[in-house]
């Protein structure tokens, strides 16, 4: 009896793992054939057929007929795609610039949203409670079957403990007390919750769904008032990949020191190599009128816009910043050996910044490591939070398929 139970449990676990793999291929690719799924994950045709039939019956995916890519008449290819209305998720992005709650479907189409930008944020716990209430209101209004709400993804600019769903602090937001984010959202919403920094959310979104899908080792730098760092080692397809992230505002910037012994205080990356340092360099004493990080952020975005419009002085400053940031991370890149470095955030919208960083990385990288590709992304922390929710709460987590099948789909 005991051995039988163990065997059955192992078989059940294998089935759930295979279903996650198949669903993951369909969601990641948006349109893919059964044959391609089998080739990608190494399952046989019968297993793929059985799993996709269950997913179709549960209205999580849909079949689409496409014409022969070679244009031959009469020949059709059946592709599988996510069923947008088959499920819903919440994505929440919170940084110094913008705070937003979004309800999206399984294709990451925005269904409804609530904007918190401009509201008082002095009390972090109270603001997150407001976000949780607004999330619940969006779900109540737009999701008829709560079994089709799969969870919440939250990207907050701060220091987090992902496992415990706690925000340790968010200095950019003025939140210095630890907050149990998981408890706040569990009190308002059913479904799992995942918490990340914006840099990590963008990194996971791009490695799973976007420009970094075909790379093994990926580093993301979120280039804003301070620099966020995230990395993925081991490829996007594996649930067991190594991922980590951090906000590097208080990391010591040591390259300018000649000291040979203990040093009382090094300047930080925020002091020397950041969007804040860039704003300080350009507008000087006028920074005294910037009383909040949101105002600093708007000043930075404005300066980047002026550079893109042709202001040569600001262009030179952004080139110095990009080259300096590349030198700062050169040792780390030599150790991690990333195939791709993704640049996100407001500074990544400057061709001058991106070009200088790219050139300096190429110059600094040891030849034995080969080329490190650098790409800027338009992914925001809000869009990434939605992809994060789809990733963590749908394709990398077991869903109650039997409950959906019992209802006969949507």
Say how far apart CA 136 and CA 117 lie, in whole Å.
Answer: 18
Q: Is the pLDDT of residue 4 over 70?
A: no
Half-sphere exposure of 211 (CA within 13 A, CB side): 19
Q: Is the pLDDT of residue 250 over 90?
A: no
Q: Is 74 left (phi over 0), alpha (psi -120 to 50) or beta?
A: left
Q: Is the pLDDT of residue 10 over 90?
A: no
Say how far apart CA 225 and CA 347 lie, in whole Å.
Answer: 9
Q: Specify the fold of 86-201+384-406.
A: Nucleotidyltransferase; domain 5 (3.30.420)
Evaluated on CA atoms 163, 168, 174, 179, the torsion sign reads positive
Under DSSP, is residue 310 helix (H, G, I), strand (E, B) or coil?
coil
pLDDT in tens, 342-370: 999 999 999 999 999 999 999 988 888 78
Comparing 405 with 140, the larger pLDDT belongs to 140
Q: Is the pLDDT of residue 243 over 60?
A: no
Asked if 229 contacts 159 with a C-beta cutoff of 8 angstroms, the reply is: no
Under DSSP, is residue 261 helix (H, G, I), strand (E, B) or coil?
coil
Beta bridge partners of 233: 217, 242
Distance of CA 217 to the CA centre of its chain: 15
Name the least confident of 44-58, 138-152, 245-259, 277-291.
245-259
Quote the pLDDT of residue 87: 94
Quote the pLDDT of residue 70: 59
| Mean pLDDT within 315-324 | 96
Asked if 198 contacts 95 with a C-beta cutoff of 8 angstroms, the reply is: yes
Where does the pLDDT of residue 236 fall: very low under 50, low under 70, confident under 90, or very high at 90 and above?
low
Asked if 152 contacts 393 with a C-beta cutoff of 8 angstroms, the reply is: yes
- What CATH superfamily is the domain 212-376? ATPase, nucleotide binding domain (3.30.420.40)
Under DSSP, is residue 381 helix (H, G, I), strand (E, B) or coil?
helix
| Mean pLDDT within 229-243 | 64
| Mean pLDDT within 13-29 | 91
For all residues of the chain together, what is the average pLDDT? 87
Asked if 359 contacts 175 with a C-beta cutoff of 8 angstroms, the reply is: no
Quote the pLDDT of residue 75: 55
Name the least confident of 51-60, 245-254, 384-393.
245-254
**Domain ranges, ordered by start, for the chain:** 2-82, 86-201+384-406, 212-376
Task: Give 135-140's long-range contacts (Cβ < 8 A, gap of 24+).
Answer: 135/90, 135/92, 135/101, 135/103, 135/185, 135/188, 135/189, 136/188, 136/189, 138/90, 138/101, 138/103, 138/111, 138/112, 138/113, 138/114, 139/88, 139/90, 139/103, 139/189
pLDDT in tens, 163-209: 999 999 998 888 999 999 999 999 999 999 999 999 999 999 999 99
Two domains, one topology: 2-82 and 212-376: no
Q: Is the pLDDT of residue 6 over 90?
A: no
pLDDT in tens, 95-153: 988 999 999 999 999 999 999 988 989 999 999 999 999 999 999 999 999 999 999 99
Question: 2-82 — its CATH code?
Answer: 1.10.10.10
């Amino acid at each position: 009896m005991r051995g039988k139970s163990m065997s059955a449990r192992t078989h059940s676990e294998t089935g759930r793992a295979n279903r996650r793999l198949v669903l993951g291929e369909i969601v990641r690719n948006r349109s893919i054939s059964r044959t391609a799924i089998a080739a990608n994950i190494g399952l046989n045709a019968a297993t793929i057929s059985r799993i996709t039939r269950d997913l179709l019956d549960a209205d999580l995916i849909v079949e689409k007929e496409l014409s022969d890519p070679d244009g031959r008449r009469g020949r059709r290819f059946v592709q599988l795609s996510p069923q947008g209305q088959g499920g819903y998720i919440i994505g929440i992005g919170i940084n110094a610039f913008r705070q937003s709650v979004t309800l999206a479907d399984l294709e990451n189409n925005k269904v409804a949203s609530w904007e918190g930008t401009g509201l008082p944020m002095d009390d972090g716990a109270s603001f997150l409670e407001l976000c949780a209430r607004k999330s619940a209101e969006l779900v109540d209004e737009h999701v008829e079957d709560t079994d089709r709400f799969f969870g919440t993804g939250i990207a907050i600019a701060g220091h987090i403990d992902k496992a415990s769903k706690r925000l340790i602090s968010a200095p950019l937001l003025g939140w210095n007390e630890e907050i149990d984010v998981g408890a706040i959202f569990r009190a308002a919403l059913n479904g799992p919750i995942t918490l990340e920094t914006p840099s990590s959310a963008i990194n996971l979104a791009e490695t799973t769904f976007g420009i970094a899908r075909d790379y093994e080792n990926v580093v993301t730098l979120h280039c804003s008032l301070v620099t966020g760092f995230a990395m993925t080692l081991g490829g996007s397809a594996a649930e067991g990949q190594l991922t980590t992230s951090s906000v590097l505002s208080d990391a010591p910037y040591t390259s300018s020191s000649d000291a040979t012994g203990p040093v009382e205080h090094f300047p930080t990356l925020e002091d020397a190599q950041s969007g804040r340092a860039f704003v300080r360099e350009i507008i000087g004493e006028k920074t005294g009128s910037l009383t909040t990080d949101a105002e600093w952020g708007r000043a930075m975005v404005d300066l980047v816009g002026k550079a893109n419009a042709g202001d040569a002085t600001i262009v030179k400053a952004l080139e110095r910043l990009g080259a300096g940031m590349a030198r700062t991370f050169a040792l780390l890149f030599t150790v991690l050996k990333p195939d791709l470095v993704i640049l996100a955030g407001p500074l990544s919208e400057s061709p001058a910044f991106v070009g200088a960083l790219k050139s300096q990385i190429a110059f600094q990288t040891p030849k034995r490591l080969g080329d490190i590709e650098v790409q800027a992304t338009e992914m925001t922390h809000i869009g990434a939070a939605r992809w994060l929710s789809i990733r963590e709460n749908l394709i990398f987590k077991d869903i109650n398929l039997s409950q959906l099948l019992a209802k006969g789909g949507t």
